[in-house]
Structure 1
Amino acid sequence: MKPVPAAASGTPEPVRESPVLQEWLIDLPPTGSAGGLARIHTRTCLTVLGWDGSIGAATEITDRLVRNALVHGCPRTRQVMDIRLRLALTEGRQLLIEVSDSNPAFPDFGEAVLGRKGRGLWEVHRLGGSISWFLPHHANGKTVRALLGPAPCSGSSD
């Protein structure tokens, strides 16, 4: 799994004040093994990066987003489901976790984030993820994004 330059992916820059420095992409199988693979990939990438946020929370958020894609990501009109995970580190040390699937619909997004329609996105929010979704211009389907900040600095009083 090799880092991809941000411009090569064709995805819109999500944070203008903090450009993406590095990103990793992985296509996941539309099977029950996708969550485990995503967790391993997330832990590995964030450890290599030395990201100073909560790797545990980021891994759990990734798992929740991938599980949601498995359950809700295949529209009735398609037989094949595609799931892609993108992890991107911004210049401001923010982490973008994006999971794309084949279904462009996302009914009741706001209700899902509030925990009124399922628990997955509510858990993502509870773990500190700022959640949004969009329709990418370069592919069919949708992308659900969680943005996590780095760990707060723990200042010492000398």
Structure 2
Amino acid sequence: MSDPRPQTLLTHDWTMGYPMTLRSVRLARLHVRRRLTMWSWPGDIEDAVLVTSELVANAVVHGSIPGHELRLSIVELDNNALSIEVSDPVLAFPEVRSRDLSERGRGLIVVRQLAHSLDWYLRASVGKTVRARLHLRDG
């Protein structure tokens, strides 16, 4: 993929590393909800928290390599868009399953429904970053 950082100006940004455990999913949700509330982000904070939860869970389940952590970044852009980025050490992008509607495997479908865009790029050091961009809803 291409450009790892958005081309628009950012107004806020925040990054944190987490261990590759399912406990990190809950902690990431709490951190994102708190950070977006502090920023007074005008978008749907609960949508952003859900997207974060799904991306972090995917990194833990599909992107875990011993000795590595995941990295979560949220960036508020000058056009009131929000970029949620989760990095892990695995090069492969998780497959979006459209036909398998079992209890597992629907996370990226949910992210695609809530986000304006979903993409990924390789990191210079190791692994990849999955990025979802949320925009303010009309009305």
TM-score (norm 2): 0.87
CA deviation string 1:26-83 (max 9, x = no partner): 1012112101110001101100111111000000000000000001102xxx422310
Seen in structure 2, the aligned counterparts of structure 1 residues 83 and 115 have a Cα distance that, compared at 3 Å, is same
CA deviation string 1:99-126 (max 9, x = no partner): 0001012264xxx0x6346211101012
Q: Say whether the 8 Å CA contact 1:95–1:147 is kept in structure 2.
A: yes
Seen in structure 2, the aligned counterparts of structure 1 residues 107 and 97 have a Cα distance that, compared at 3 Å, is closer
AA in 2 matched with 1:81? H
Aligned length: 133
Who wins on radius of gyration, i.e. which is larger? 1
Query: Would you say 1:104 and 2:94 are equivalent positions?
Result: no
Q: Say whether the 8 Å CA contact 1:13–1:20 is kept in structure 2.
A: no
Residue number in structure 2 paired with 1:150: 136
How big is the alpha-carbon RMSD for the aligned residues of Structure 1 and Structure 2?
1.8
Consecutive unaligned residues in structure 1, runs of 5 or more: 1-10
Identity value in percent: 39
Query: Would you say 1:84 and 2:65 are equivalent positions?
Result: no
The one of the two structures with greater contact order (alpha-carbon pairs below 8 A, sep at least 6) is 2
AA in 1 matched with 2:32? T
CA deviation string 1:72-96 (max 9, x = no partner): 102xxx4223101000011111100
Consecutive unaligned residues in structure 2, runs of 5 or more: none
Seen in structure 2, the aligned counterparts of structure 1 residues 56 and 80 have a Cα distance that, compared at 3 Å, is same
Seen in structure 2, the aligned counterparts of structure 1 residues 133 and 51 have a Cα distance that, compared at 3 Å, is same
AA in 1 matched with 2:98? G
AA in 1 matched with 2:52? T
Seen in structure 2, the aligned counterparts of structure 1 residues 132 and 40 have a Cα distance that, compared at 3 Å, is same
Q: Say whether the 8 Å CA contact 1:51–1:150 is kept in structure 2.
A: no
AA in 2 matched with 1:29? P
Q: Say whether the 8 Å CA contact 2:74–2:82 is kept in structure 1.
A: yes
Seen in structure 2, the aligned counterparts of structure 1 residues 107 and 86 have a Cα distance that, compared at 3 Å, is closer
Work out which of the residue numbers 55, 71, 95 in structure 1 matches 2:82: 95
Work out which of the residue numbers 5, 25, 49 in structure 2 matches 1:13: 5
TM-score (norm 1): 0.77
